[in-house]
Structure 1
């Protein structure tokens, strides 16, 4: 039974096993009940209680000891980048291209909002009013990037600056990836939580890294010092953090930087 019962200086001593910490009824409870009631407890009594371990809970005695509080899961927020100029399109804004009658940026934002992320932050810049209008009614927060012409790093910094103080990570979602679904985002979040919020998590396809990318808070300070049209890829390599690649299918590799790519993916450019 793993219990030790003795007397020292006229006082009862109980050597209790680990099961004594459990909220479920166990052999320790049976011995303690008897001693408090003034009943003698012999070696035969203890041996007759079984071979130790936990016993089934009974309705008359539910949860007598306070259980440990559940550990909170690492909180993740999404930074959706929608500030670019679509320069390779030669004029039209690719984020406003229609996919099944819906602007691409709205389609992407809806999938972000529909994921397990705690919040979605949309970074706007080029044609910000048109982009915001396309997202009307969605539960998103906007981060304006007046320096969008300087490149990707300026949008990353604007988005990360809006992340909540209690968030463990930020998932960087590109606005021009029509093949990424809410379920794909959830798979990245789940992998991040399993790492206890310490690892970089990347979407991948056929063993090749892609997007989105989920960054832990430990990288936020370094992102604030990025310059030019660069993302966080070199930071990930320089910091030496663990990187987890999650296979999500073709969506990780399909973006629509050119007219041909957009039309091939089913999009229709607007003026």
Structure 2
């Protein structure tokens, strides 16, 4: 048996050569290798302490997956434009942290299609070897980058155009219930680009030919360490259920899947101080 104690962060993700998602959970200064724990017993208890993931201060309530209220209100990474990039206001001179915006928003972004149980559009800053960690965080079983754009604002404008024809949200309950069927993302890309051709032309007219680059990349299949999917989804709430234990039946997205159809979004509890006992 192993025991870990400390404030957790969102699980670190990667894929191996077979595109199987690999997970590590940061707990204090330690990392738990999660894949080997599938089908084993795990026990978790929350000690009623939450520390902001940015300033480390003790907070009674967590906002936006780990921030205290003060950081929620002052950090650029917590501003509304992070959720709605088409509202980026850097050029207006009102960015909360201009240096952060320059480092994170004024660089290339990718627009992608993903299968998370339903087909969705999204944006990400990084695609490495045709895979983005964001796709794994969302539990996508297929994904494909379709455009590279000049900055976050442009990515939001393109995403907004695509939202007229395709969803931009992941239905987490659908994502967790089963392995979805496959979709021809290449064909869908062609159809969608035709549908938003006029909007793309408007963006290029305003921001220049370098604003948008259509990519010709293959779709990627992603697999998850899941021994058994839940028939129903019963969400564990650490603020109400301070302790839980059971067999870890799988991990998908940022969720643990436990026996009894129970699931928990570990990213939601970033900054929570937990005691975790594992069988290994």
Which category of TM-score, normalised to the shorter sequence, fits these structures? under 0.3
- Report 1 or 2 for greater relative contact order, CA contacts < 8 Å, sequence distance ≥ 6: 2
Max radius of gyration: which structure? 1
